[in-house]
Amino acid sequence: MTDVWSQRADAFRESPTHREGPDLDLLVEWCEPGDEVKVLDVATGGGHVARRLREQGCTVITADPAPGMKSDVVSRAEELPFEDGSFDVVTCRIAPHHFEDIRRAVAEMARVTQRLVVIEDNVFVDEQVEEAERLRDPTHVRCYTEDEWKEMLTDAGLEVEQLEHFQRHPVVDDWLARVDTPPEDAARVKELLGDHISDGVLTLDSIVVKARRSQK
Ligand SMILES: C[S@@+](CC[C@H](N)C(=O)[O-])C[C@H]1O[C@@H](n2cnc3c(N)ncnc32)[C@H](O)[C@@H]1O
Protein backbone atom coordinates (compact mmCIF):
# COMPACT_ATOMS: atom_id res chain seq x y z
CA MET A 1 0.00 0.00 0.00
CA THR A 2 1.27 3.50 -0.80
CA ASP A 3 2.24 5.51 2.25
CA VAL A 4 -0.04 8.42 1.36
CA TRP A 5 0.47 10.25 4.64
CA SER A 6 4.25 10.42 4.22
CA GLN A 7 3.72 12.07 0.83
CA ARG A 8 1.47 14.65 2.50
CA ALA A 9 3.88 15.46 5.34
CA ASP A 10 5.06 18.86 4.08
CA ALA A 11 1.52 19.98 3.24
CA PHE A 12 0.35 19.20 6.79
CA ARG A 13 3.42 20.83 8.38
CA GLU A 14 2.58 24.04 6.50
CA SER A 15 -1.24 23.95 6.69
CA PRO A 16 -2.41 27.19 8.38
CA THR A 17 -5.42 25.55 10.06
CA HIS A 18 -3.17 22.85 11.53
CA ARG A 19 -0.27 25.12 12.57
CA GLU A 20 -2.35 27.48 14.71
CA GLY A 21 -5.78 28.55 15.88
CA PRO A 22 -7.87 29.01 19.01
CA ASP A 23 -8.64 25.26 18.98
CA LEU A 24 -4.92 24.46 19.28
CA ASP A 25 -4.51 27.12 21.99
CA LEU A 26 -7.29 25.56 24.06
CA LEU A 27 -6.04 22.01 23.56
CA VAL A 28 -2.60 23.08 24.83
CA GLU A 29 -4.13 24.87 27.86
CA TRP A 30 -6.26 21.82 28.73
CA CYS A 31 -3.11 19.64 28.84
CA GLU A 32 -2.12 21.60 32.01
CA PRO A 33 1.42 21.91 30.59
CA GLY A 34 4.55 22.39 32.68
CA ASP A 35 8.12 21.27 33.25
CA GLU A 36 7.41 17.87 34.78
CA VAL A 37 4.64 16.91 32.37
CA LYS A 38 5.25 13.93 30.06
CA VAL A 39 3.01 13.86 26.98
CA LEU A 40 2.34 11.41 24.15
CA ASP A 41 1.06 13.08 20.96
CA VAL A 42 -0.76 10.40 18.94
CA ALA A 43 -1.10 10.92 15.13
CA THR A 44 1.26 13.87 15.43
CA GLY A 45 1.25 14.69 11.69
CA GLY A 46 3.13 17.97 11.25
CA GLY A 47 3.91 17.97 14.99
CA HIS A 48 2.07 21.18 15.88
CA VAL A 49 0.71 19.98 19.24
CA ALA A 50 4.13 18.63 20.22
CA ARG A 51 5.87 21.91 19.27
CA ARG A 52 3.48 23.99 21.35
CA LEU A 53 3.70 21.69 24.39
CA ARG A 54 7.51 21.62 24.26
CA GLU A 55 7.46 25.43 24.28
CA GLN A 56 5.55 25.12 27.59
CA GLY A 57 8.27 22.88 29.07
CA CYS A 58 6.62 19.48 28.55
CA THR A 59 8.57 16.38 27.50
CA VAL A 60 6.73 15.14 24.41
CA ILE A 61 6.97 11.82 22.57
CA THR A 62 5.33 11.86 19.15
CA ALA A 63 3.73 8.85 17.44
CA ASP A 64 2.43 8.44 13.89
CA PRO A 65 2.23 5.43 11.53
CA ALA A 66 3.57 7.37 8.53
CA PRO A 67 7.42 7.37 8.49
CA GLY A 68 7.42 10.68 6.57
CA MET A 69 5.91 12.46 9.57
CA LYS A 70 9.25 11.80 11.33
CA SER A 71 7.66 11.05 14.69
CA ASP A 72 9.68 9.64 17.60
CA VAL A 73 7.76 6.36 17.33
CA VAL A 74 6.14 4.87 14.20
CA SER A 75 2.86 3.50 15.52
CA ARG A 76 -0.88 3.34 14.91
CA ALA A 77 -3.15 4.67 17.64
CA GLU A 78 -4.77 1.25 17.91
CA GLU A 79 -1.51 -0.39 19.14
CA LEU A 80 0.55 2.02 21.22
CA PRO A 81 3.89 0.44 22.16
CA PHE A 82 3.98 1.76 25.74
CA GLU A 83 3.35 0.37 29.23
CA ASP A 84 0.16 1.27 31.08
CA GLY A 85 0.29 4.78 32.56
CA SER A 86 3.54 5.78 30.81
CA PHE A 87 2.43 9.42 30.29
CA ASP A 88 0.76 12.21 32.26
CA VAL A 89 -1.18 13.35 29.20
CA VAL A 90 -2.11 11.85 25.82
CA THR A 91 -3.11 14.22 23.00
CA CYS A 92 -4.63 13.47 19.62
CA ARG A 93 -5.66 16.30 17.28
CA ILE A 94 -7.65 16.24 14.00
CA ALA A 95 -6.87 12.57 13.37
CA PRO A 96 -9.33 10.10 14.96
CA HIS A 97 -11.60 10.30 11.89
CA HIS A 98 -8.83 8.35 10.07
CA PHE A 99 -8.61 5.51 12.61
CA GLU A 100 -9.90 2.13 11.44
CA ASP A 101 -10.80 1.05 14.99
CA ILE A 102 -11.71 4.16 16.97
CA ARG A 103 -12.77 2.32 20.14
CA ARG A 104 -9.50 0.42 20.30
CA ALA A 105 -7.56 3.66 19.75
CA VAL A 106 -9.45 5.44 22.55
CA ALA A 107 -8.87 2.45 24.85
CA GLU A 108 -5.16 2.55 24.06
CA MET A 109 -4.92 6.29 24.77
CA ALA A 110 -6.76 5.77 28.08
CA ARG A 111 -4.45 2.87 28.96
CA VAL A 112 -1.16 4.74 28.49
CA THR A 113 -2.16 7.94 30.32
CA GLN A 114 -2.06 8.41 34.09
CA ARG A 115 -4.05 11.61 34.09
CA LEU A 116 -5.51 13.23 30.95
CA VAL A 117 -6.55 12.50 27.39
CA VAL A 118 -7.14 15.66 25.33
CA ILE A 119 -8.49 15.15 21.83
CA GLU A 120 -9.70 17.32 18.98
CA ASP A 121 -11.48 16.06 15.90
CA ASN A 122 -13.86 17.12 13.20
CA VAL A 123 -17.36 16.49 14.50
CA PHE A 124 -20.06 14.53 12.64
CA VAL A 125 -22.41 16.84 10.73
CA ASP A 126 -24.43 14.59 8.40
CA GLU A 127 -23.99 11.75 5.89
CA GLN A 128 -23.55 14.20 2.99
CA VAL A 129 -20.51 15.76 4.68
CA GLU A 130 -19.17 12.25 5.38
CA GLU A 131 -19.55 11.36 1.68
CA ALA A 132 -17.68 14.53 0.71
CA GLU A 133 -14.90 13.79 3.22
CA ARG A 134 -14.43 10.22 1.91
CA LEU A 135 -14.38 11.38 -1.71
CA ARG A 136 -11.88 14.13 -0.90
CA ASP A 137 -9.66 11.69 1.01
CA PRO A 138 -10.25 7.91 0.95
CA THR A 139 -8.37 7.58 4.28
CA HIS A 140 -11.34 9.28 5.96
CA VAL A 141 -13.22 6.69 8.05
CA ARG A 142 -15.86 8.62 10.05
CA CYS A 143 -16.44 11.64 12.26
CA TYR A 144 -18.32 11.26 15.57
CA THR A 145 -20.94 13.32 17.38
CA GLU A 146 -20.42 14.96 20.78
CA ASP A 147 -22.50 12.19 22.38
CA GLU A 148 -20.47 9.46 20.66
CA TRP A 149 -17.24 11.04 21.92
CA LYS A 150 -18.58 11.23 25.48
CA GLU A 151 -19.67 7.59 25.33
CA MET A 152 -16.38 6.33 23.86
CA LEU A 153 -14.26 8.19 26.41
CA THR A 154 -16.45 7.10 29.32
CA ASP A 155 -16.40 3.48 28.15
CA ALA A 156 -12.58 3.69 28.15
CA GLY A 157 -12.61 4.61 31.87
CA LEU A 158 -12.25 8.39 31.46
CA GLU A 159 -14.38 11.23 32.84
CA VAL A 160 -15.19 14.03 30.42
CA GLU A 161 -14.36 17.28 32.25
CA GLN A 162 -14.55 19.94 29.56
CA LEU A 163 -15.74 20.11 25.98
CA GLU A 164 -15.87 22.94 23.46
CA HIS A 165 -16.92 23.28 19.82
CA PHE A 166 -14.88 25.23 17.27
CA GLN A 167 -15.06 26.12 13.61
CA ARG A 168 -11.98 25.95 11.40
CA HIS A 169 -11.98 27.78 8.07
CA PRO A 170 -9.62 26.35 5.41
CA VAL A 171 -9.59 27.75 1.88
CA VAL A 172 -11.45 24.96 0.08
CA ASP A 173 -9.00 24.65 -2.86
CA ASP A 174 -6.04 24.40 -0.44
CA TRP A 175 -7.94 21.82 1.63
CA LEU A 176 -8.47 19.69 -1.51
CA ALA A 177 -4.91 20.18 -2.81
CA ARG A 178 -3.43 19.07 0.54
CA VAL A 179 -4.61 15.50 -0.14
CA ASP A 180 -4.38 15.59 -3.97
CA THR A 181 -8.08 15.12 -4.67
CA PRO A 182 -8.47 14.55 -8.46
CA PRO A 183 -10.24 17.48 -10.22
CA GLU A 184 -13.38 15.52 -11.12
CA ASP A 185 -13.82 14.38 -7.51
CA ALA A 186 -12.99 17.88 -6.21
CA ALA A 187 -15.91 19.33 -8.20
CA ARG A 188 -18.31 16.80 -6.63
CA VAL A 189 -16.90 17.41 -3.15
CA LYS A 190 -17.58 21.15 -3.53
CA GLU A 191 -21.11 20.35 -4.71
CA LEU A 192 -21.76 18.12 -1.69
CA LEU A 193 -20.36 20.75 0.70
CA GLY A 194 -22.14 23.68 -0.97
CA ASP A 195 -23.95 24.73 2.22
CA HIS A 196 -20.66 24.88 4.12
CA ILE A 197 -18.64 26.90 1.58
CA SER A 198 -18.75 30.69 1.35
CA ASP A 199 -16.44 32.79 -0.88
CA GLY A 200 -14.15 29.78 -1.37
CA VAL A 201 -13.77 29.19 2.37
CA LEU A 202 -15.01 26.01 4.03
CA THR A 203 -16.40 25.82 7.56
CA LEU A 204 -15.36 22.66 9.42
CA ASP A 205 -16.93 21.93 12.82
CA SER A 206 -14.59 20.45 15.39
CA ILE A 207 -14.75 19.44 19.03
CA VAL A 208 -12.06 19.62 21.72
CA VAL A 209 -12.54 17.31 24.72
CA LYS A 210 -10.60 17.06 27.98
CA ALA A 211 -11.07 13.72 29.74
CA ARG A 212 -9.50 12.59 32.99
CA ARG A 213 -8.63 9.07 34.00
CA SER A 214 -11.16 7.94 36.59
CA GLN A 215 -9.76 7.31 40.09
CA LYS A 216 -9.75 3.60 40.84
C1 LIG B 1 -4.42 15.55 9.85
S2 LIG B 1 -3.02 14.67 10.31
C3 LIG B 1 -2.80 15.04 12.03
C4 LIG B 1 -2.70 16.47 12.39
C5 LIG B 1 -1.88 16.80 13.63
N6 LIG B 1 -2.25 16.02 14.80
C7 LIG B 1 -1.98 18.30 13.93
O8 LIG B 1 -2.42 18.70 15.02
O9 LIG B 1 -1.60 19.07 13.04
C10 LIG B 1 -3.61 13.01 10.47
C11 LIG B 1 -2.52 12.03 10.91
O12 LIG B 1 -3.14 10.80 11.31
C13 LIG B 1 -2.22 9.77 11.03
N14 LIG B 1 -2.94 8.49 11.07
C15 LIG B 1 -3.67 7.90 10.11
N16 LIG B 1 -4.16 6.72 10.55
C17 LIG B 1 -3.72 6.56 11.82
C18 LIG B 1 -3.87 5.56 12.84
N19 LIG B 1 -4.59 4.47 12.63
N20 LIG B 1 -3.25 5.76 14.01
C21 LIG B 1 -2.53 6.87 14.26
N22 LIG B 1 -2.35 7.85 13.35
C23 LIG B 1 -2.94 7.70 12.16
C24 LIG B 1 -1.64 10.15 9.68
O25 LIG B 1 -0.41 9.51 9.41
C26 LIG B 1 -1.52 11.67 9.81
O27 LIG B 1 -0.22 12.06 10.20
For the stretch 36-59, pLDDT in tens is 999 999 999 999 999 999 999 999
Question: Which atom of ligand 1 is nearest the CA belonging to 99?
Answer: 19
Tell me how far the alpha carbon of residue 169 lies from the centroid of ligand 1, in angstroms. Answer: 19
Per-residue pLDDT tens digits for 164-178: 999 999 999 999 999
- Residue whose CA lies nearest to ligand 1 atom number 8: 93
In terms of residue numbers, what domain contains 10? Answer: 4-124+138-167+207-211
The reply to whether 154 falls in a domain is: yes
**Structural domains counted in the chain:** 1
pLDDT at 23 over 80: yes
Please give the distance, rounded to the nearest whole angstrom, from the Cα atom of residue 95 to the centre of ligand 1.
5
CATH number of the CATH domain containing 43: 3.40.50.150
Nearest one of 2, 8, 1 to 175, comparing CA atoms: 8
Report if residue 57 sits inside a domain.
Answer: yes
Residue 177 lies in a domain: no
In a domain, residue 173? The reply is: no
Indicate whether 158 belongs to any domain: yes
Select from 48, 177, 31, 183 the least CA-distant residue to 202: 177
Is any ligand 1 atom within 6 A of the Cβ of residue 47?
Answer: no
Q: How far is the CA of 103 from the centre of ligand 1 (A)?
A: 16
Q: Is residue 192 part of a domain?
A: no
Residue 187 within any structural domain of the chain: no
Say which residues have a Cβ less than 8 Å from residue 21's Cβ, sequence separation at least 6: 166, 168
Give the up-direction half-sphere exposure of residue 125: CA atoms within 13 A in the CB hemisphere: 17
Structural contact between residues 164 and 207, judged by C-beta atoms closer than 8 angstroms: yes
For position 1, what pLDDT does the model report?
Answer: 40
Tell whether the torsion through CA atoms of 205, 51, 25 and 83 is positive or negative: positive
Q: Ligand 1: distance of its center to the CA of 104 in Å?
A: 15
Q: Is the pLDDT at 144 greater than 50, yes or no?
A: yes
- With a cut of 80, say whether residue 215 has pLDDT above it: no
> For residue 185, how far is the Cα from the chain centroid?
24
Atom of ligand 1 nearest to the CA of 19: 9
Are 71 and 63 spatial neighbours (Cβ–Cβ below 8 Å)? yes
Residue 132 in any domain: the answer is no
What is the distance between the alpha carbons of residues 49 and 46, in angstroms, rounded to a whole number?
A: 9
